[in-house]
Structure 1
């Protein structure tokens, strides 16, 4: 199958001139070389499908490594795959049964959208993440005692440290009968979907605006994303195009600023969101996964694992990771955003999988 990749025209050669020496002792003045990958980020226009591109030649990337990367992407059941450098598209690939205009679920990668929206709500004064979540969910939102409810903060919901029982029949549902006490808040980390899901209700309760409307107004529309939240059973899933996921990654690459528009100015919150939020799982921020730590925990497991989350990925990588290998990676040091949507790669997990490292080995071969 022929990959669909954006490759711009071959880069122009940079002309240069050496100045003549007035004497053998005069220093030779060398011209400054133009940087082929300037640090200034590009932002695609809002309301347009236009998106500028880089060629592999312009970036001096390894063209021989492109096809092996795309072969892996295809073999692992992917539907869409995008690499941005400095905001411009370098690679854009779709499977034969998918396209740039089709929507796909983010699954739990959309948790990052919720964390971001929570930061906006706090900046606008609707809430403080150290408030009790009961302040916005109301009393008796669970089967816990009143005091047990009051002890759980919004911060606990953002960091997976509510202490609620994850051994219930369905730990993704938010009926009071599914929300039971197990541990004191902030003393135990477990990837508990019901605990996360309540963040949407907290934002609604705090702002007085339905979560989806607030999200659309404050985040989605401002950066030119499209997409929709769809309630499915116990879940509320976000569906969008791969390019919309890339837009969100680019917003995070630029620390909350889209072109000249600040979406979230609370740098303290942004920094806390994308760094270790607690010592129970060093690889977890506010609903974001973090690389480069010396240990991590995984969904569905209670144990600690030693080493980095994705050993061959850059240490400063942050990621939204969802079931069936929905992925948005952001790497500030390399000015990269990488998006992958599709079916699971063979590991049925709620977030990180072995495919993460396989993918980064191939990405490194291309970009290095």
Structure 2
């Protein structure tokens, strides 16, 4: 074989090894063959389910996309492929993606004051849209759940005195830091973004905007997104999607905001989502924040939070074990829904096992 033909076939192999597929009404499938690595993944994710005590790892769905094709899915409990599952805080990353479409329309800039789009923030005029996307509004906020409900800002917002108008409840908080200078994870910041979107796109477009701007172009048909009493989407918590539909969001992000031949999200928006917040100070083994997404990046001298996954891995994460991992270097999107009520489930362990089962190369 001539040198020219050899180079041609090597090029052909490199292209076909990662052929680009896009889902139509359904994902095309290239189902993985059962291997010891896949069996180890299933043994971890789908342990015997204890519905009486709700203890341990309780996976509802596990789905894997590679190169734009569905290669693995399994469901448990009441969840099926047709179930729009509560995503909890994955909703935050969904709102960031919807906002990215509006950003691409030129309707706002990252450094715009949030007050420009949400007047109840008049006591906090220095907060920018970028600050809210970084969970860095500077507003005093307690993101506690079952373990400290009486002092929890998020419990009050979702269930008691703030639930009628969640953005206004958040805007009423006092500041504890200058905007943009400190990370404080806040479901309130995410709901301020949702309220700002209403004026960014205009009230007439707002009620349908997640669908017309994002879901419909991606072929998502069964999304549900709850609103509060003011008609504002609860961006912190209350979006519901099937695992297959959520994976479409992940594949969009894996492809730098491109869907088929359309650049649905500007590349600089996706880059912003995946860039660590400059003032984040790492602690424990938590993932660091980007723009309403979580990053597997070494920050502030701390190691990567998921050491068995590539450093370009990023994720949308939610309460009780909801997770969507995007690994561009491996052309992988992994959706995991769960009903975990303790700390048994570990992101790194699932990623390590999934990469051994599905990645193009085994991670060290």
- Alignment TM class, shorter chain as reference: 0.7 to 0.9
Which of 80, 86, 91 does residue 72 from structure 2 map onto? 91
- Quote the Cα distance in structure 2 between the aligned partners of 1:28 and 1:121: 47
> 2:306 is matched with which residue?
310
| Pair 335,155 (structure 1): closer, same or farther in 2 beyond 3 Å | same
The answer to whether the Cα contact below 8 Å between 2:87 and 2:237 also exists between their aligned partners in 1 is: no
What is the aligned partner in structure 1 of residue 238 from structure 2? 237
CA distance in 2, matches of 1:28, 1:229: 55
* Counterpart in the other structure of 1:151: 126
TM-score w.r.t. structure 2 length?
0.79
For structure 1, which segment, 171-180 or 183-192, has the greater mean C-alpha deviation from structure 2 after superposition?
Answer: 171-180
In the alignment, the residues of structure 2 paired with residue 134 and residue 28 of structure 1 have an alpha-carbon distance, to the nearest angstrom, of 61
* Distance of aligned partners of 1:27 and 1:336 in 2 relative to their CA distance in 1, 3 Å threshold: closer
Partner of 1:80: 61
Q: Is the 8 A contact 1:63 1:366 kept in 2?
A: yes
When the two structures are superposed, what TM-score results if normalisation uses the length of structure 1? 0.78
Which stretch of structure 1 is more off in the superposition, 111-120 or 213-222?
111-120
**Structure of larger gyration radius:** 1
What is the distance in 1 between the residues matched to 2:170 and 2:299?
A: 37
Match of 2:13 among 31, 35, 38: 35
Could you list the per-position Cα deviations for residues 114-150 of structure 1 after superposition, in whole angstroms to 9, with x for gaps in the alignment?
1112222122122222111111111xx25xxx4x511
TM-superposed deviation, 1:77: 0.6
Deviation at 1:318, TM superposition (A): 0.8
Tell me the CA shift for residue 231 of structure 1. 3.6
RMSD of equivalent CA atoms: 2.7
Cα drift, residue 39 of structure 1: 2.5
Please list the CA deviations of residues 33-83 of structure 1 after superposition, one character each: whole Å capped at 9, or x if unmatched: 6638532321110xx23x2222436xxxx8111112112111221111111
Are 1:54 and 2:30 an aligned pair? yes
Q: 2 CA distance for matches of 1:165 and 1:106?
A: 25
Q: Which of 136, 147, 153 is the aligned partner of 1:171?
A: 153
Alpha-carbon shift at residue 308 of structure 1 (Å): 1.2
Count of matched residue pairs: 316
Deviation at 1:98, TM superposition (A): 1.9
Does residue 1:276 correspond to 2:276, yes or no? yes
**Contact preservation (8 Å) 1:292, 1:314:** no
Q: Distance in 2 between matches of 1:178 and 1:171?
A: 11
Structure 2 unaligned runs (5+)? 48-56, 144-150, 158-165, 283-287
State the Cα distance separating 1:281 from its structure 2 match.
4.6
Residue 44 (str. 1) matches residue 23 (str. 2): yes
- The answer to which of 27-36 and 225-234 deviates more is 27-36
Matches within 5 A, 1:4-15: none
After superposition, the C-alpha distances for 1:334-362 in whole angstroms (9 at most, x for unaligned) are 10000001212632xxxxx8510110121
Which residue, 69, 88, 105 being the options, matches 2:41? Answer: 69
Aligned position for 1:189:
183
Counterpart of 2:326 in structure 1 is: 330
Q: Which residue of 2 aligns with 1:201?
A: 195
Hey, what does 1:16 align to over in structure 2?
Answer: none
SS of equivalent residue, structure 1 residue 35: helix
Question: What secondary structure, in the 3-state scheme, does the structure 2 residue paired with 1:306 have?
Answer: coil
Residues 65 and 208 (structure 1 numbering): CA distance in 2 closer, same or farther, change over 3 Å?
same
Task: Please give the secondary structure, in 2, of the residue aligned with 1:93.
Answer: strand
Do 2:327 and 2:333's aligned partners in 1 also have CA atoms closer than 8 Å? yes
Structure 2 counterpart of 1:162 = 137
Distance 2:208 2:281 in 1: 32
1:321 alignment partner, one of 313, 317, 320: 317
1:14 aligned residue: none
Alpha-carbon offset, residue 163 of structure 1: 0.5
Q: Distance in 2 between matches of 1:117 and 1:218?
A: 7
SS in 1 for 2:184: coil
1:87, distance to aligned residue in structure 2 (A)? 0.8
**CA–CA distance in 1 between the matches of 2:4 and 2:184?**
63
User: 1:288 corresponds to which residue?
Assistant: 293
| 3-state SS of 1:280 partner | coil
Q: CA deviation at 1:322?
A: 0.7
For residue 29 of structure 1, report the CA deviation from its aligned partner: 7.6
What SS is found at the alignment partner of 1:120?
helix
